[in-house]
């Protein structure tokens, strides 16, 4: 009789089971945002560490070579033949390789030869610190259009895919960019436009190649940390690229980071006309803009090596002052 009575109440009723399931569902719903927030905080911290390592590599390059690496090498229209060779040499990412434990790859690159002339495997190799974990899980490969000539070029001087004389070349992508400065030199199709050699106002700019005939032997327009008139703690050095989701892997918005023929592949500008991107669904901001997929903020390294996180709503005049290395504006950087 006792056994029969106990067995009558040994299990759950259907109502009790449904109540337990509902409670578990509510608890999971309450915990999920906290888990996602914790994961994003970890990704944001990793992103900041990546940018710090890039800034440290730039500092080590400057200490060794007594100048900052060029963002890329590109001629300026109207200059003498001494500065009008080259155009597709690899970007600053290759110059800093010896300082980010990529010596084997650095030894295979020729920084004075076209990036597209190097072996495919070399072009498609990258460091994990080139990637923001909020954007990509790891190595990503894209295709660039190299060697096009006018009229087959975009206003930035980038070749149009399929333009006259252009060829497709694959290479590793990345999520960070050099601060090329602000837009004050102009972008009107004149030799003074910001994307030509020597015209950038940031610390890492397009520099003009030094030529021996058609061979590149070095570069001019060299900048040192000591020549940053505004002070290294008041000048942006490296930041996150703005990339909309639909731009991932698409040229020229998301071109290979070693491609010196296309400025947006490795560099960004900011200031009036170029606000920070507002996240992965922002297609209004351009491929010249800095920006991130971290909610509401973008991470930068200043020229002194410190890492700052700023709101994406920051005033563009203020951003331009931070981007320009020599505009006599000594301003603190507010953090988010």
- Taking only the tens place, the pLDDT of each residue in 268-319 is 999 999 999 999 999 999 999 999 999 999 999 999 999 999 999 999 999 9
Which residues have CB under 8 Å from 334's CB, separation 6+? 310, 314
Q: Look at residue 336 and tell me whether its pLDDT is greater than 70.
A: no
HSE of 210, CA atoms in CB hemisphere, 13 A = 7
Q: Which of 59, 88, 80 is nearest to 159 (CA)?
A: 88
Average pLDDT over residues 77-84: 93
Residue 274 carries which DSSP code? B
Q: Look at residue 25 and tell me whether its pLDDT is greater than 80.
A: no
Average pLDDT over residues 104-126: 97
Higher pLDDT, residue 204 or 187: 204
Cβ-in-10-Å burial (0-12, 13-18, 19+) of 301 comes to buried
Share of the chain above pLDDT 90, in %: 75
What band does 37 get if pLDDT is binned at 50, 70 and 90? low
Distance (Å, whole) CA 208 – CA 293: 33
Higher pLDDT, residue 73 or 156: 73
The pLDDT assigned to 36 comes to 62
- Taking only the tens place, the pLDDT of each residue in 238-265 is 999 999 999 999 998 999 999 999 999 9
In this predicted structure, which of 90-94, 139-143, 180-184, 185-189 has the lowest mean pLDDT? 185-189
Note whether residue 166 is domain-resident: yes
Distance (Å, whole) CA 125 – CA 269: 26
Note whether residue 9 is domain-resident: no
Token reading at 271: 């200031």
Average pLDDT over residues 21-41: 72
Longest Cα pair distance anywhere in the chain, in angstroms?
A: 108
Note whether residue 193 is domain-resident: yes
Measured from the Cβ of residue 113, the count of other Cβ atoms closer than 10 Å reads 15
The pLDDT assigned to 253 comes to 93
The pLDDT assigned to 93 comes to 98
Note whether residue 61 is domain-resident: yes
Strands (E), 53-192: 72-73, 141-146, 167-172, 176-181
The pLDDT assigned to 1 comes to 45
The pLDDT assigned to 203 comes to 97
Distance (Å, whole) CA 267 – CA 178: 4
Count of domains forming the chain: 1
- Taking only the tens place, the pLDDT of each residue in 5-21 is 545 555 667 777 777 78
Note whether residue 276 is domain-resident: yes
Distance (Å, whole) CA 136 – CA 104: 24
Domain that holds residue 125: 34-323
Note whether residue 29 is domain-resident: no
Q: Look at residue 143 and tell me whether its pLDDT is greater than 70.
A: yes
What band does 156 get if pLDDT is binned at 50, 70 and 90? low
Note whether residue 88 is domain-resident: yes
Note whether residue 163 is domain-resident: yes
The pLDDT assigned to 269 comes to 97
């Amino acid at each position: 009789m006792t056994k029969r009575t106990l067995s009558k109440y040994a299990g759950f009723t259907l109502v009790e089971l449904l109540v337990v399931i509902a409670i578990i569902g509510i608890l999971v719903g309450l915990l999920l945002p906290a888990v996602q927030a914790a994961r994003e905080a970890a990704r944001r911290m990793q992103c900041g560490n990546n940018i710090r390592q890039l800034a440290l590599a730039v500092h080590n390059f400057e200490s060794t070579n007594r100048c900052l690496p060029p963002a890329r090498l590109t001629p300026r229209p109207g200059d003498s033949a001494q500065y009008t060779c080259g155009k597709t040499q690899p970007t600053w990412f290759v110059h800093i390789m010896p300082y980010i434990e990529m010596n084997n790859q650095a030894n295979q690159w020729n920084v004075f030869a076209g990036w597209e002339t190097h072996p495919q495997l070399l072009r498609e190799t990258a460091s994990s610190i080139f990637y923001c974990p909020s954007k990509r899980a790891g190595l990503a490969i894209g295709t660039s259009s190299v060697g096009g000539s006018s009229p087959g070029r975009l206003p930035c001087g980038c070749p149009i895919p399929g333009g006259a004389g252009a060829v497709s070349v694959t290479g590793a992508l990345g999520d960070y960019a050099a601060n090329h400065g602000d837009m004050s030199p102009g972008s009107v199709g004149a030799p003074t436009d910001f994307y030509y050699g020597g015209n950038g106002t940031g610390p890492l700019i397009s520099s003009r190649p030094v030529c021996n005939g058609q061979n590149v032997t070095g570069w001019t327009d060299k900048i040192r940390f000591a020549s940053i008139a505004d002070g290294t703690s008041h000048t942006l050095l490296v930041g996150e690229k703005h990339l909309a989701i639909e731009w991932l892997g698409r040229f020229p918005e998301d071109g290979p980071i070693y491609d010196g023929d296309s400025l947006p592949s490795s560099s960004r500008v900011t200031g009036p006309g170029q606000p920070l991107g507002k996240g992965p669904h922002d297609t209004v901001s351009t491929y010249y803009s800095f920006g991130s997929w971290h909610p509401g903020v973008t991470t930068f390294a200043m020229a002194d090596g410190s890492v700052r996180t700023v709101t994406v709503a920051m005033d563009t005049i203020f951003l331009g002052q931070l981007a320009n290395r020599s505009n006599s504006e000594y301003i603190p950087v507010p953090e988010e």
